[in-house]
Every structure is written in structure tokens, then in C-alpha cells.
Amino acid sequence: MTQPSAALIIIGDEILSGRTKDKNINSLAQFLHDRGIRLREVRVIGDDHNRIVGTVQALSAEFDLVFTSGGIGPTHDDITTVAVAAAFDVKVIRHPEADALLIYHYEGTGLDYNSARQKMADIPEGAELIYNPVSAAPGYRIGNVHVMAGVPKIFDAMLMQIEAMLPSGVKQHRISVQTALGEGTLAEGLGVIEGRYNNLSIGSYPWFKPGQYGTAVVVSSLNRDDVDQAAAEVITLIKSLGSTGVIEDVVTGGNTV
């Protein structure tokens, strides 16, 4: 049982400066989880040509799938396409289909399809377009790298376009157990339980409410039987520590039951 691995590169000085909040990590993580693909790493880098080239080359070699967000618009600092082309040692071309899509999009809008907007039709040679039903300017896939817009609405729309491009993996099973115990009280016992299984993870996430605190314990694995057994052991542990454990949700193969 396997899951393809994935990484996300968020590109933009505006993210690093704090001016813009990223919303695409969660969208991609949920999208991939539902398809049995595991997002294993996220990097945030600025609009720096050499940094983009090196990061794309490194992560495309390490992971099955790579996604990028940002830097494919019409402005002078949108340099992602030139850098991605350099990472794959190919030239940038004016893609005829991308050009036609943008010409059609701007017709009748009162906006000039000027040289800045035409830049959005420039694509690394050999890349496959990722269509953009929101604003027409496409993303693209080259090798195992999927280059997409940074604007969340467009990023989400592009995700819906690439589903057929992606491999499928085994969806993860997950059980979440809620308890009023603090995670420090649970830590040692949870470590012992997790150590009894291969390829199973147990996460503990503290929560706080007025006058109350507790922990959400999340048991995850590709093996459903292991998740069920380990979750039962977590509840037994909680009872042994003088509290109660309540199963909050059960996700089997990506479906909440």
C-alpha cells in the first residue's frame, strides 16, 4: 500500500513579507489527501530566479509530484515560468493555444491584450497546459512539476483541472479521539502505542476553551485494522489515566463516517 509523495513551492515576496496570507497549502493538502497522495513538504521562497531554479530541481528529483503557486502573472516580478524553464533546460515559447485563449478572453472586455498580458501565454517548451476557467491565463505541467497561479480562487479552479493528470494512491484512514486530558499527560503512553505499529502515526493536538483544556488524538495509517486497534488502545490509555475518550470522527479511505 503506497501513496505518491508531493511537495508544494509557494513563490512570492509578498508571502514572505507578510503582506499576503497563503491559503493554498490547505487547499492542496485536502485535495491530495482525498486522492491518496501525501503532501510531505512545503517551501516558501521569494521571487528569486536562482532560488526558484534550485528548489524546483531539488524537489522534482525528491518527490513524485511537485506543485508551485505564484509568479505566473503579467507583472515584471512574475518570473516563475522563466525559472521553471531554466530548471528543465528548455526555452520559453509563446504557446499558440494559451495565446488564443487569452485573445478570446480579452475580446470585448475593454482591456488591451498588451505585451504584459501576452506574457501569460509564454510557457516552457514541451509543457502541457493546465486550464484556468476563472481568468483564462493557464498554468502548465512540465515533467512532474505543476505550475499554478497564486490567487486562491484560480489555484482552486486549476486543481479541478489537473485531477486526470495525477496518479492515484491509497487513501489514509484516520480516527480522532477527544479527551479532557492534557497532551503532556498522554505523551508517554501515546509513544508506546505508536511504537507497536509500522507506518502508523499518532498526533496529539491541544485545545483550549474558557475554563477547560484537552487534547485531540489523531491516529492515522493506510491500514484500517491498525487504525481501529490503535484507537482502541488510545481510549484504554485515557481510561487508565482517569478520564474518558470520545471518538470525534472516523475517516476511512478519505470518507468521513
Q: Which three cell numbers stand for residue 199?
A: 507506518
CA distance linking residue 202 with residue 247, whole number of Å = 14
pLDDT of residue 108: 85
End-to-end CA distance of the chain: 22
Q: Is the pLDDT of residue 1 over 70?
A: no
The string of pLDDT tens digits covering residues 168-185 is 899 899 999 999 999 999
Choose between 252 and 245: higher pLDDT. Answer: 245
Q: Give the rounded percent of residues in the chain with a pLDDT score beyond 90.
A: 91
Q: Which residues pair with 214 in a beta bridge?
A: 207
- Secondary structure class of 23 (helix, strand, coil): coil
Ordered by where they begin, the domains of the chain are 5-165 (3.40.980.10), 173-256 (3.30.70.600)
The string of pLDDT tens digits covering residues 216-237 is 999 999 999 999 999 999 999 9
State pTM to two decimals. 0.89
Per-state percent for the chain, helix, strand, coil, to nearest 5: 40, 30, 35
The string of pLDDT tens digits covering residues 23-72 is 999 999 999 998 999 999 999 999 999 999 999 999 999 999 999 999 99
